[in-house]
């Protein structure tokens, strides 16, 4: 087994032990279909947790989409992002002449992989969910074959909030909802609202 795979399973085991994560599939099943998992974003560990909760055969074909500005700094982060997780690193402020994030994601889907994305675009420090960036809509238009699956991540933002060095070992859960896709004629705003509402519907009742 390659070292990357050992590192990947070690990280998964650590994430599972730390968070006691429980995956609840209420609207879909862990099938080997091509999918875009989209989730709320509170912590850098978010994609690790989703990735770790997928059955191994799905995990091997699922790539997290992450910001190049964070993950290409230093030498350890690029290694983890590129080699261990096979991440799709996108430029959050794209330059003309380089491939746009949507093109990069579409290419990854065209190669047969599934994706994990965080359509809020940045980590949310408050409650609830920020408005979605338009990437999810363009991706849904560019590659309509993939199912869009909302995934609500509960508690991870409290385990490891932005700026914290030591995590607190709270129990996390992931709720996988029903697949949705972009309707023909559906406007960008309407689709993004619908996708966001589908994600929020998976959250436990607010306090």
Partner 1 sequence: MNPTDTLILVFGGIMAFLTLASAIGMVLKYRLASDASPAVVDNLNTRIKAWWAMILLLGVAIWLGKAGMVMLFAFISFQCLREFVSLTYTRVGDHHALQWSFFFFLPLQYFLIAIDWYGLFSILIPVYAFLLLPIWASLGSDTTRFLERAAKVQWGLMICVYCLSHVPALLTLDIIGYAGRNTLLVVFLVLTVQSSDVFQYVWGKLLGKHKISSSISPSKTVEGLIGGVLTSTMVGAAFWWMTPFNLWQAALIALTINVMGFFGGFVLSAIKRDRGVKDWGTMIEGHGGMLDRVDSISFSAPIFFHIVRYWWVP
User: Shortest distance, CB of residue 154 to partner 1, whole angstroms?
Assistant: 9
Q: Give the number of other Cβ atoms within 10 Å of residue 127's Cβ.
A: 10
User: Shortest distance, CB of residue 162 to partner 1, whole angstroms?
Assistant: 8
User: Shortest distance, CB of residue 59 to partner 1, whole angstroms?
Assistant: 22
Mode of pairing for the β-strands spanning 147-154 and 173-176: antiparallel
Instruction: Look at residues 200, 109, 106 and name the one whose alpha carbon lies nearest to residue 152.
Output: 200
Which residue, 171 or 183, is less far from partner 1 as judged by CB?
171
Rule CB under 8 A: which residues touch partner 1?
20, 22, 125, 155, 158, 161-162, 164, 166, 168-172, 204-205, 207
Which residue, 89 or 156, is less far from partner 1 as judged by CB?
156
111: which 2 tokens?
């190669």
User: Shortest distance, CB of residue 76 to partner 1, whole angstroms?
Assistant: 24
For residues 61 and 109, what is the distance between their CA atoms, to the nearest angstrom? 10
Q: What is the 3-state secondary structure (H, E, C) of 12-29?
A: HHHHHHHHCCEEEECCCC
Phi-psi category of residue 180: left, alpha or beta, with phi > 0 → left and psi -120 to 50 → alpha: beta
User: Shortest distance, CB of residue 21 to partner 1, whole angstroms?
Assistant: 11
Which residue, 111 or 206, is less far from partner 1 as judged by CB?
206
């Amino acid at each position: 087994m390659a070292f990357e795979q050992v590192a990947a399973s070690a990280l998964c085991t650590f994430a599972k032990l730390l968070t006691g994560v429980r995956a609840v599939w209420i609207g879909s099943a862990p099938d080997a279909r091509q999918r875009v998992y989209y989730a709320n974003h509170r912590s850098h560990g978010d994609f690790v947790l989703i990735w770790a909760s997928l059955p191994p055969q799905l995990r091997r074909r699922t790539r997290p989409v992450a910001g190049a500005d964070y993950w290409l700094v230093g030498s350890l982060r690029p290694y983890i992002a590129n080699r261990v997780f096979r991440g799709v690193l996108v430029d959050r402020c794209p330059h003309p002449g380089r491939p746009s994030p949507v093109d990069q994601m579409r290419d990854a889907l065209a190669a047969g992989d599934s994706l994990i994305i965080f359509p809020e675009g940045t980590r949310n420090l408050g409650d609830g969910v920020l408005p979605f960036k338009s990437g999810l809509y363009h991706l849904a238009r560019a590659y309509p074959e993939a199912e869009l699956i909302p995934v609500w991540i509960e508690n991870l933002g409290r385990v490891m909030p932005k700026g914290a060095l030591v995590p607190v070992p709270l129990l996390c859960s992931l709720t996988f909802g029903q697949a949705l896709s972009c309707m023909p004629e559906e406007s960008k705003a309407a689709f993004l609202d619908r996708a966001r509402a589908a994600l929020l519907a998976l959250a436990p009742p607010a306090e």
